[in-house]
């Protein structure tokens, strides 16, 4: 059995409690940690912001993309443009305004659909459910499904490639914290589902190893009359999440984990009160998350640790450098902090390096790497 080297040590001036009660005015804390906030960590205290660079050269850099500017010509989920991906995770964005004319079945892994915009009806092997903006829809691997939008829909699609989604271990707070499993809705064999069980021809598009196959039926394959078990599509809205909070301590992103896959986690940031203790840090702390790539998709609200970011944008911080709040956001939080944050964002931490999709350079904000400079 492996064991992290552990030698708690204290050197020079520093706070006893992480993310609180800094040793002096104008001091900046930086967390250097392993295993995505779960492993050993040290907290360094600096005289200057750890993100105070003046120039950046080389391929490793923070990146930002405006997904609103991607082409919306895809008519089916298997045509949705790739945003970021690796061998264990593929993130796509798909805009849909018309009912799907074929069923989709992903044999490469579970799909997690986050509804960024719109509403409509979702039909699958297990029945029918309605969806709206802010819903997560978890689709188990090889489930047949289709959408009927009631208005234009934009979905963030996160595939657990060759893997599955589970719920996180909630530890000391117990299984009912953050959200109770009873909050997960499942499809129903209802009148809307039975009404679509026609004898008209349908095709099923099956994705396996990134390749597509088409299977034709002379009837609708979504013809179940009932089911029982504990494997099914499920749905939860971000508004059903009750975030962990501490008025005296800024919790790490891992406290907001919503789903866990084999090599990455999905976290959800939702509105909450901001820390009120005078000595507590009020914004995300500067940190080196040196085992994970970090991705943030901005859904709604005022993103209190960022400047010039709006809903529909995505930031990508590969592991290997320090990142944290923008200078203006940090200064404002320290001088006159807000009492409440209204931001909603979806975050991925991936254990394996991510590569950007082929269209992403067309929608990139090239000046993002310079946005930490004090003049911004």
Summarize the annotated binding site as residue ranges: 287, 293, 323
Q: Is the Cβ–Cβ distance between 114 and 135 less than 8 Å?
A: yes
| DSSP code per residue over 82-96 | EEEEETTEEEEEEEE
Q: Backbone dihedral region of 122: left (phi > 0), alpha (psi from -120 to 50 degrees) or beta?
A: beta
Q: CA–CA separation, 160 vs 298, rounded Å?
A: 20
Using DSSP bridges, classify how beta strands 103-106 and 202-208 pair: parallel, antiparallel or unpaired. Answer: parallel
* Residues in the chain, total: 376
**Six-digit token pair at 66?**
């405006």
| Annotation says 88 is catalytic | no
Please report, in range form, the residues annotated as the binding site for homogentisate: 323
**Six-digit token pair at 193?**
């589902």
Inter-residue long-range contacts of 269-272, CB under 8 Å, 24+ positions, other chains counted: 269/243, 269/343, 269/344, 269/345, 269/346, 269/347, 270/238, 270/239, 270/241, 270/243, 270/344, 271/301, 271/340, 271/341, 271/342, 271/343, 271/344, 272/243, 272/245, 272/340, 272/341
Please report, in range form, the residues annotated as the binding site for Fe cation: 287, 293, 323
Beta strands (DSSP E) in 47-189 are 63-66, 82-86, 89-96, 103-106, 109-117, 120-124, 127-131, 135-139, 144-149, 153-161
Q: Which residues of 154-193 are buried (b: 16+ CB within 10 A; e: fewer)?
A: bbbbbbbbbbebeebeeeeeeeeebbeeeebbebeeeeeb
Residues 6+ apart with CB under 8 A from 36: 254, 265, 289, 291, 292, 349, 351
List 19, 43, 116, 250, catalytic entry: 250
User: Exposed (0-12), middle (13-18) or buried (19+): which is 303, by Cβ within 10 Å?
Assistant: buried
Residue 222 DSSP SS3: coil
Sign of CA dihedral 58, 60, 65, 67: positive
Angstrom CA distances, 227 to 119, 124, 184, 230, stand at 26, 12, 17, 10
Residues forming the active site: 250
């Amino acid at each position: 059995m492996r064991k992290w080297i552990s030698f708690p040590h204290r050197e020079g001036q520093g706070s006893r409690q992480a993310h609180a009660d800094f040793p002096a005015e104008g001091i900046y804390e930086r967390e250097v940690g392993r295993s995505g906030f779960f492993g050993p960590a040290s907290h360094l205290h600096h005289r200057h912001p750890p993100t105070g660079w003046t120039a950046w050269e080389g391929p490793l850099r923070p990146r930002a993309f405006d997904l609103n500017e991607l082409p919306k010509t895809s008519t089916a989920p298997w045509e949705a443009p790739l945003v970021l991906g690796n061998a264990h995770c593929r993130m796509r964005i798909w805009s849909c305004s018309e009912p799907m004319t074929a069923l989709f079945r992903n044999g490469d892994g579970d799909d997690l659909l986050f509804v960024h915009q719109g509403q409509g009806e979702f039909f699958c092997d297990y029945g029918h459910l309605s969806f709206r903006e802010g819903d997560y829809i978890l689709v188990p691997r090889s489930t047949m499904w289709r959408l009927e939008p009631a208005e234009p829909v934009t979905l963030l699609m996160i595939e657990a490639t060759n893997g599955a989604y589970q719920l996180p271990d909630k530890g000391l707070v117990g299984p009912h914290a953050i959200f109770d499993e009873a909050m997960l809705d499942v499809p129903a064999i209802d009148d809307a589902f039975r009404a679509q069980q026609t004898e008209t021809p349908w095709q099923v598009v099956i994705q396996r190893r990134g390749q597509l196959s088409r299977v034709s039926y002379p009837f609708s394959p979504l013809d179940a009359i009932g089911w029982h078990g504990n494997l099914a599509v499920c749905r939860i809205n971000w508004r059903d999440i009750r975030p962990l909070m501490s008025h005296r301590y800024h919790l790490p992103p891992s406290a907001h984990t919503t789903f866990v896959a084999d090599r990455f986690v999905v976290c959800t940031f939702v509105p909450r009160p901001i820390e009120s203790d005078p000595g507590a840090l009020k914004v995300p702390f500067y940190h080196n998350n040196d085992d994970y790539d970090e991705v943030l998709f901005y859904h709604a609200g005022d993103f209190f640790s960022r400047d010039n970011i709006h809903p529909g944008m995505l930031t990508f911080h590969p592991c290997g450098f320090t990142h944290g709040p923008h200078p203006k956001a940090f200064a404002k939080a320290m001088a006159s902090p807000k009492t409440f944050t209204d931001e909603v964002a979806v975050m991925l931490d991936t254990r394996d390096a991510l590569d950007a999709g082929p269209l992403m350079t067309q929608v990139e904000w090239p000046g993002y790497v310079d946005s930490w400079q004090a003049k911004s």
